[in-house]
């Protein structure tokens, strides 16, 4: 596979330290609020990448952290702790907030068919790892103590700005948010490895350390967690594009200084989901969630399709109109699949293999997921029988995860359930073929025939209470759920 690498700034042939095996790391969510659908765009694309690698025959070990400590309002180590902010907002403890939003995140992931990584590690669970790394960085002279905190000294590196050739003078302190300069830093780009002093006194989670009671900086958690579960050689590191600087830049600085050798050669960054008013962000208050999409009647997989239709290295603009287009596409696709007849002959494995190879080549060109969607239409038009077409679609869906076959089967079932029940007297009930409802409708018809209006009305009320709308039609009745 060819994959764009933010480090080399070109599409490289994907390589791994151990042939056939991928050590993959993903920066997980900061669990102080619900994930917005922008965050989830990143996780959807990373999920497709993992599934594609498995589809291409790699064995993958994927690790993800959960940021439940240390992530301050500004990525440059200043401002309020995000977890504390969430806890105050909801009058709960930091750990309660963390548990609630971690569960909410994985529930959203499940709805979007995002596979749970092999290892999920909350940052608060690896304090010893961070202390080990920070101690070693101090010993090696890559870190210094100032004002009670431990800082990484970026001037000790030959090249710090690995992703962008920043002019150091251009780098305003705070990067994204304008914040005051930390006087303890020797160089503007230095960052905190361990805090014992911060601007806010009510920091909830603190641990003993050789430098006093405190808590880890945000960046050290990803290095520590990755080294613990991925080992010293990471093959692929993922995150949203805003993570490239300073977060990933700092991860590389501290990891390589600690290990004494290159750490991760391939970096995958997903570009942002934007609305017409700009980048979606948790800190801006109002934002779009999976639950909101559901409330508005969208299947979350429509959003997954929407993401897959565009390339991960391009910004994506969200609008309801764009989502509606994806919805129409999804429904039409399912209808076409539902019309295929599974039992129309044996699967032609040679044709499946030919399509599989094409899919590998096309999607394997820098994770071109929109070509993956186009491949579904090619499969529908393949010169073969329906059983083979379905086998190809099922094969592609291992990567795309759009539930194509099961949703199409649901559609087929629904159509079949538009069954008609004939009574002995020639009375026809048209509905979903539910025996309990049909029996009630029939009893009502008999009550009416016997001019027992009270019973007929009572049964109609009973059906209404069950959410059934009943319409009398010539020769029978029709019912549907409302
Ligand atoms: P956070 O929970 O803020 O730590 O972010 C979780 C992930 O979502 C990170 O990989 C971010 O880079 C990514 N992310 C944040 N905002 C967006 C956005 N608008 N579009 C896509 N990814 C985003
Ligand atoms: Zn990270």
282 in a known ligand binding site: yes
Q: 161 lies in a domain? A: yes
Q: 415 lies in a domain? A: no
Q: What is the pLDDT of residue 373?
A: 98
Q: Are residues 249 and 319 in the same domain?
A: no
Counting ligands in written order, the one closest to the CA of 272 is 1
Q: Are residues 261 and 303 in the same domain?
A: no
| CA-to-CA dists, residue 257 to 139, 353, 446, angstroms | 11, 46, 85
243 within ligand 1 shell (Cβ under 6 A) = yes
Where residue 176 sits, what CATH number does that domain have? 3.40.50.620
Please give the backbone phi and psi of residue 73, each rounded to the nearest 5 degrees, phi first: -55, -35
Q: What is the pLDDT of residue 202?
A: 62
pLDDT in tens, 427-445: 888 887 788 898 899 999 9
- The DSSP symbol for 398 reads H
6 within ligand 1 shell (Cβ under 6 A) = no
Q: What is the mean pLDDT of residues 65-85?
A: 74
111 within ligand 1 shell (Cβ under 6 A) = no
Q: What is the pLDDT of residue 167?
A: 55
38 within ligand 1 shell (Cβ under 6 A) = yes
Check whether 358 has a pLDDT greater than 60.
Answer: yes
Counting ligands in written order, the one closest to the CA of 225 is 2
Q: Helix (H) and strand (E) counts for the chain? A: 15, 20
Asked if residue 475 lies in contact with residue 464, where contact means CB atoms within 8 angstroms, the answer is: no
Q: What is the pLDDT of residue 76?
A: 58
Nearest Cα residue to atom 3 of ligand 1: 30
65 within ligand 1 shell (Cβ under 6 A) = no
Q: What is the pLDDT of residue 177?
A: 43
Q: What is the pLDDT of residue 301?
A: 98
Q: What is the pLDDT of residue 475?
A: 82
Q: Give 69's pLDDT tier (boundaries 50, 70, 90).
A: confident
Tokens of 35: 């994930």
Q: Give 124's pLDDT tier (boundaries 50, 70, 90).
A: very high
Q: What is the pLDDT of residue 430?
A: 83
Q: How far is the CA of 143 from the centre of ligand 1 (A)?
A: 28
Q: Are residues 131 and 247 in the same domain?
A: yes
Q: 285 lies in a domain? A: no
Contacts of 155 (CB under 8 A, 6+ apart): 186, 187, 190
31 within ligand 1 shell (Cβ under 6 A) = no
Mark which of 236, 270, 304 sits at the end of a domain: 270
Check whether 172 has a pLDDT greater than 50.
Answer: no
235 within ligand 1 shell (Cβ under 6 A) = no
Q: How far is the CA of 105 from the centre of ligand 1 (A)?
A: 13
Which stretches does DSSP call E strand in 88-165? Answer: 119-122, 143-146, 149-152
Nearest Cα residue to atom 15 of ligand 1: 39
Q: Are residues 85 and 218 in the same domain?
A: yes
Collapse the DSSP code of 113 into the 3-class scheme (helix H, G, I; strand E, B; otherwise coil) and give the result.
coil
Instruction: Give the chain's mean pLDDT.
Output: 91
247 in a known ligand binding site: yes
Q: 277 lies in a domain? A: no
Check whether 316 has a pLDDT greater than 90.
Answer: yes
Q: What is the mean pLDDT of residues 440-458?
A: 92
Q: 287 lies in a domain? A: no
Check whether 424 has a pLDDT greater than 70.
Answer: no
Report which of residues 80 and 302 the model is more confident about.
Answer: 302
Q: Are residues 365 and 430 in the same domain?
A: no
Check whether 391 has a pLDDT greater than 90.
Answer: yes
Counting ligands in written order, the one closest to the CA of 221 is 2
- What distance in Å separates the CA atoms of residue 142 and residue 191, rounded to the nearest whole number? 11
Q: What is the pLDDT of residue 277?
A: 78
Q: What is the pLDDT of residue 169?
A: 47
40 within ligand 1 shell (Cβ under 6 A) = no
Q: Are residues 405 and 427 in the same domain?
A: no
- What distance in Å separates the CA atoms of residue 26 and residue 247, rounded to the nearest whole number? 12
pLDDT in tens, 46-66: 999 999 999 999 999 999 999
Atom of ligand 1 nearest to the CA of 41: 21
Which of 28, 39, 81 has most ligand 1 atoms within 8 Å of its beta carbon, as the pocket-test mutant?
A: 39
Q: Are residues 438 and 397 in the same domain?
A: no
Mark which of 211, 236, 270 sits at the end of a domain: 270
pLDDT in tens, 214-271: 999 989 999 999 999 999 999 999 999 999 999 999 999 999 999 999 999 999 999 9
Nearest Cα residue to atom 11 of ligand 1: 240
Asked if residue 396 lies in contact with residue 359, where contact means CB atoms within 8 angstroms, the answer is: yes
Where residue 317 sits, what CATH number does that domain have? 1.20.120.1910
Counting ligands in written order, the one closest to the CA of 108 is 1
**What total number of domains does the chain contain?**
3
Q: 384 lies in a domain? A: yes
Check whether 284 has a pLDDT greater than 90.
Answer: no
33 within ligand 1 shell (Cβ under 6 A) = no
Atom of ligand 1 nearest to the CA of 29: 2
Q: What is the pLDDT of residue 405?
A: 97
Residue ranges making up the domain that contains 470: 421-481
Q: Are residues 311 and 201 in the same domain?
A: no
Q: How far is the CA of 281 from the centre of ligand 1 (A)?
A: 8
Which of 70, 98, 242 has most ligand 1 atoms within 8 Å of its beta carbon, as the pocket-test mutant?
A: 242
Q: Are residues 232 and 114 in the same domain?
A: yes
72 within ligand 1 shell (Cβ under 6 A) = no
Q: What is the pLDDT of residue 77?
A: 62
Q: Give me the residue label for tokens 């995002």.
A: 114
Q: What is the mean pLDDT of residues 421-427?
A: 73
Q: Which of 28, 38, 65 is nearest to 282 (CA)?
A: 38
Top mean pLDDT of 80-89, 407-416, 450-459 is at 450-459
Name 238's bridge partners.
26, 268
pTM value is 0.86
Q: Are residues 115 and 237 in the same domain?
A: yes
Report which of residues 181 and 445 the model is more confident about.
Answer: 445
Q: What is the pLDDT of residue 417?
A: 64
21 in a known ligand binding site: no
Atom of ligand 1 nearest to the CA of 238: 10
Q: What is the mean pLDDT of residues 421-432?
A: 77
Q: Are residues 426 and 390 in the same domain?
A: no
Q: Are residues 191 and 309 in the same domain?
A: no
Q: Give 472's pLDDT tier (boundaries 50, 70, 90).
A: confident
Burial of 162 (0-12, 13-18, 19+ CB in 10 A): middle
Tokens of 138: 């101090």
Q: What is the pLDDT of residue 282?
A: 67
Q: 288 lies in a domain? A: no
Nearest Cα residue to atom 16 of ligand 1: 39
- What distance in Å separates the CA atoms of residue 89 and residue 85, rounded to the nearest whole number? 6
Please give the backbone phi and psi of residue 265, each rounded to the nearest 5 degrees, phi first: -85, -15
Q: What is the pLDDT of residue 473?
A: 82
Atom of ligand 1 nearest to the CA of 241: 12
Q: 416 lies in a domain? A: no
Q: How far is the CA of 229 from the centre of ligand 1 (A)?
A: 22
26 within ligand 1 shell (Cβ under 6 A) = no
Q: Give me the residue label for tokens 């959807």.
A: 44
Counting ligands in written order, the one closest to the CA of 34 is 1
pLDDT in tens, 362-381: 999 999 999 999 999 999 99
27 in a known ligand binding site: yes
């Amino acid at each position: 596979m060819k994959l764009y690498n933010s480090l080399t700034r070109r599409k490289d042939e994907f390589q791994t330290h151990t042939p056939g095996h991928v050590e993959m790391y993903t920066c997980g969510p900061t669990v102080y609020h619900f994930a917005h659908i922008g965050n989830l765009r990143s996780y959807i694309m990373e999920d497709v990448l993992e599934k594609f690698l498995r589809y291409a025959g790699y064995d993958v070990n994927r690790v993800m952290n959960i940021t439940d400590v240390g992530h301050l309002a500004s990525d440059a180590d200043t401002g309020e702790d995000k977890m504390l902010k969430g806890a105050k907002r909801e009058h709960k403890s930091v750990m309660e907030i963390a548990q609630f939003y971690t569960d909410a995140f994985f529930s959203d992931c499940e709805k979007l068919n995002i596979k749970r990584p092999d290892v999920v590690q909350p940052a608060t669970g690896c304090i010893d790892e961070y202390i080990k790394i920070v101690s070693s960085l101090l010993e090696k002279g890559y870190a210094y103590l100032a004002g009670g905190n431990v800082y990484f000294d970026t001037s000790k590196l030959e090249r710090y700005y690995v992703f962008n050739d920043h002019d150091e003078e251009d780098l305003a302190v705070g990067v994204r948010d304008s914040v005051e300069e930390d006087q303890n830093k020797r160089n503007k780009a230095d960052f905190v490895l361990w805090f014992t002093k911060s601007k806010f006194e009510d920091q909830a989670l603190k641990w003993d350390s050789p430098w006093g009671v405190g808590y880890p900086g945000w960046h050290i958690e990803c290095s520590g967690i990755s080294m613990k579960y991925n080992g010293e050689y990471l093959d692929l590191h993922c995150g949203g594009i805003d993570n490239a600087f300073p977060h990933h830049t700092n991860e590389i600085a501290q990891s390589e200084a600690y290990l004494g050798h290159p750490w991760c050669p391939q970096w995958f960054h997903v570009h942002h989901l934007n609305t017409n008013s700009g980048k979606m962000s948790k800190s801006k208050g109002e934002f779009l969630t999976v639950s909101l999409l559901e409330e508005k009647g969208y299947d979350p997989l429509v959003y997954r399709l929407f993401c897959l239709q565009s390339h991960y290295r391009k910004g994506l603009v969200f609008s309801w109109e764009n989502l509606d287009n994806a919805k129409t596409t999804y429904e039409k696709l399912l209808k076409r699949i539902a019309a295929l007849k599974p039992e129309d002959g044996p699967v032609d494995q040679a044709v499946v293999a030919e399509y599989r190879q094409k899919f590998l080549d096309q999607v394997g060109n820098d994770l071109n997921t929109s070509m993956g969607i186009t491949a579904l239409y090619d499969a529908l038009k393949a010169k073969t029988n329906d059983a083979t077409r379905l086998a190809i679609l099922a094969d592609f869906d291992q990567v795309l995860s759009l539930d194509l076959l099961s949703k199409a089967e649901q559609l087929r079932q629904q159509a079949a359930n538009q069954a008609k029940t004939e009574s002995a007297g020639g009375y026809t009930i048209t509905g979903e073929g539910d025996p309990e409802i049909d029996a009630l409708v029939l009893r009502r018809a008999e009550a009416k025939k016997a001019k027992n209006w009270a019973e007929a009305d009572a049964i109609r009320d009973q059906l209404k209470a069950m959410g059934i709308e009943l319409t009398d039609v010539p020769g029978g009745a029709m019912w549907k759920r409302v």
